Amino acid sequence: PEPTGLGNYGGRYLRYGVREHGMAAISNGIAAYGANIPFASTFLNFISYAAGASRLSALGKLRVLYVMTHDSIGLGEDGPTHQPIETLAMLRATPNYLNFRPADGNEVSGAYMAALLHADHPSVFSLTRQNVPHLEGSSVENTLKGGYSLQTIGPDSGAGGAVPDLIIVGTGSETSLAVDTARLLADKHSLVVKVVSMPCLELFDAQPDAYRHEVLTPGVPSVSVEALATFGWHKYVHHPIGIDTFGLSAPYKEAYERVGLTPDAVAAKALKVVDYYKKNPVPTLALQF
């Protein structure tokens, strides 16, 4: 009641305070009733506090949209208590979830479209705190496929679909880092590098074999770059680059430098991968039987 000064029952928003589990549980009830499509929002790391109820979103096939911000060490000075590392790996391991980590505005739009089209799945949107550039080659339509070839960079990269020397897979804010790394490898080492954007692994896994192997070209060494745990990425790439320790309190650019997520550092690791597979067979990944 208004005389209490605590607000009223008008409007479309519920203010939960620091009550992540209650927020997710109530969202499940709204979704189950069926009149509305609820969304719930907090920092990505704190969906862990909602895990009991958010897991039931997936088990119950409830279309709840979890809008999770501050999705990496990019949140900066709040430090490791607020910085998700293992969180997205946990969510990706949960059946029936769609987990989106969009790279730019086009991919955010595509993620929302996909979430609304999949009525029996909850969705998680992992969104950055820091600004990200609009990427050439991104699109709403390709986001619906979960992963796609964003750009190919390097000498003769546009000539007849030449097989690249390396694939770099990026998600979210690290997709632009993948593009910058590809340019560095092309300029300094004359490599042809395909950059793949992978906003949703679950949607990518649902694509036909032919499409997935078109994106992740068999016989080509590959790395991924994501400012989160590397757990789960060996299914898709030969060497995942990420963070397998807790984060740190620092301005986000300094934090990225400390954990080796810069174009120079990623390029150095990528060159080792390319050199290794010059002498060894390149396994075909992302097989499904």
Write the secondary structure of the chain as one string of H (helix), E (strand) and C (coil).
Answer: CHHHCCCCCCCCCCCCCCCHHHHHHHHHHHHHHCCCCCEEEEEHHHHHHHHHHHHHHHHCCCCCEEEEECCCHHHCCCCCCCCCCCHHHHHHHCCCCEEECCCCHHHHHHHHHHHHHCCCCCEEEECCCCCCCCCCCCCHHHHCCCCEEEEEECCCCCCCCCCCCEEEEECCCHHHHHHHHHHHHHHHHCCCEEEEECCCHHHHHCCCHHHHHHHCCCCCCEEEECCCCCCCHHHCCCEEECCCCCCCCCCHHHHHHHCCCCHHHHHHHHHHHHHHHHHCCCCCCCCCC
Q: Which pLDDT score is estimated for 189?
A: 96
Selecting among 2, 20, 77, 141, the annotated active-site residue is 20
> Is the Cβ–Cβ distance between 102 and 125 less than 8 Å?
yes
Residues of the chain with pLDDT under 50: none
Q: Which pLDDT score is estimated for 1?
A: 62
- In the block, residue with structure tokens 């391991």: 93
* Chain segment 210-221, per-residue pLDDT in tens: 999 999 999 999
Q: Which pLDDT score is estimated for 160?
A: 58
* Chain segment 178-203, per-residue pLDDT in tens: 999 999 999 999 999 999 999 999 99
Q: 117 to each of 37, 126, 145, 215, how far by Cα in Å?
A: 12, 18, 13, 23
Task: Specify which residues 239 forms β-bridges with.
Answer: 223
20 among known catalytic residues: yes
* Chain segment 52-98, per-residue pLDDT in tens: 999 999 999 999 999 999 999 999 999 999 999 999 999 999 999 99
Could you give the CA distance from residue 283 to residue 236 in angstroms, rounded to a whole number? 11
